[in-house]
Chains A and B, each alone.
Chain A
Amino acid sequence: MSSPSDFGASDSGSSGFESEPMLGVADWTELPTDERRCLRWMLRTGEVTTLQTSEELGMDEDASRVVLEALVARKLAVFIDEKIVYVGNVGRRTARFKPGGMWDALADKLIDD
């Protein structure tokens, strides 16, 4: 598993700067235990405070803040302000229709119908 700092901006070399790579849902299995536990709880809870996180994880506020900051660095959470965190962008179900234009054409027809 990469550390949060590994997810820095990258230059694609062809089209300028790309956005930072997103972790997909499948990557959650590889998160460090504390981060995975925190993410799971945040997905159920939504907006949480740093104090609530500390209580949930059974850590002092400094230690739980490290976990939250790691999730923020991975773009899985966002700080709304200094004390409140919200579970952030958790990924996108990617499109399934890939081969050529055939499936797109079919989808267009089905949607039009």
Chain B
Amino acid sequence: MTTVISIHSFRGGTGKSNTTANVAARLTAEGNRVAVIDTDIQSPGVHVIFGFEDTPEPTLNDYLWGRSSIAEAAHEITDRVSMDMTVADGGKLWLIPSSIKPGDIARVLREGYDVGTLNDGFRTASKDLNLDYLLIDTHPGLNEETLLSFTISDVLLLLLRPDRQDFQGTAVTVDVARRLDVPNLFLVLNKIPSNVDVDDLREQMTAAYGAETAGFLPLAEEVVENASGGLFSLTSPDHPWSQEIGKIVARIQAN
């Protein structure tokens, strides 16, 4: 059975796509069959972290409009991991991108789409690609596709920054996730300034949300300088940011 992982945040700019791509890459390197699906149809971006200027075609949009199968929209990109890290036997990675073409984004926003078709795509991709993990990179905030992805997820990673707006919005999201019976909800704090006491932060998070924090990603100039220009945790595996990605992966696998 595929483990479905949704990566979400209430607000934008929390590092969802970067975390998704790096977690997916590390799971792949450990010999798992992994797919990343970009459901951030309004503002897709995870393809950039995997090294694509434009989204490879066909895309998730083509699948939703009946122009292609979900398998055709799944592009094998294992080489994006193996160029920087040894991939254990059996490890494979696919990307199901959302289109970056303005016309395609406009069409989805104007016409909408059948949420059931998206769910059929999740299910079919999991089965046809024989996936160990399906990672769903979501659009920030709460909408139809994020609620669907919560509902079908085994694991929900909720990203937030140490910021009052993020704290408040995350409380709302945690409440919705609990109402939808998400079995494993983990928080991931990103962009933590170096002068913040992580142990104190961990206690605050547990008290505020009653949920475990799986990773404390530091605010790191090197990650900012990387500017989505590749998989940082593979190219700099000893960096504290990458070490925290490793902890998140270990926590997911411990389930």
Residues on A lying within 8 angstroms of B by beta carbon are 24-26, 28-29, 36-37, 39-40, 43-46, 87-97, 103-104, 106-107, 110-113
Contact = CB atoms under 8 A, between A and B. Distances in A.
Interface string B155-180: 00000000000000000000010011
A93 B109 CA distance: 9
A92 B112 contact: yes
A93 B144 contact: yes
B67 to A, nearest CB: 14
Interface residues of B, number: 31
Question: Main SS of the interface on chain B?
Answer: helix
Contacts, number: 91
B116 A91 contact: yes
B147 to A, nearest CB: 4
Contacts of A45: 123
Nearest to A40: B151
A25 B144 contact: yes
A37 B119 contact: no
A43 B115 contact: no
Contact of A107 (B106, B119, B143, B144): B106
Contacts of B105: 110
B111 A43 contact: no
16 contacts: A24-B144, A25-B148, A26-B147, A28-B151, A29-B179, A39-B151, A40-B151, A43-B119, A46-B123, A90-B116, A93-B114, A93-B143, A107-B103, A107-B106, A111-B103, A112-B103
Contacts of B147: 25-26, 28-29
Contacts of B176: 29
B116 A96 contact: no
B180 A29 contact: yes
Contact of A44 (B110, B112, B152, B180): B152
Contacts of A103: 109-110
B145 interface: yes
A107 B107 contact: yes
Interface in B95-153: 102-103, 105-116, 119-120, 123, 142-145, 147-148, 151-152
A40 B103 contact: no
Contacts of B110: 95-97, 103-104, 107
Given A24-B144, A25-B147, A46-B123, A93 B113 contact: yes
Given A36-B180, A97-B110, A104-B110, A90 B148 contact: yes
A28 B145 contact: no
A104 B148 CA distance: 27
Nearest to A112: B103
Contacts of B222: none
A112 B106 CA distance: 11
Contacts of A87: 116, 119
A96 B181 contact: no
B113 to A, nearest CB: 5
B123 A37 contact: no
Nearest to A104: B110
List 7 tightest A-B contacts by C-beta distance, closest first: A107-B106, A29-B179, A111-B103, A110-B106, A96-B109, A110-B103, A90-B116
Nearest to A44: B152
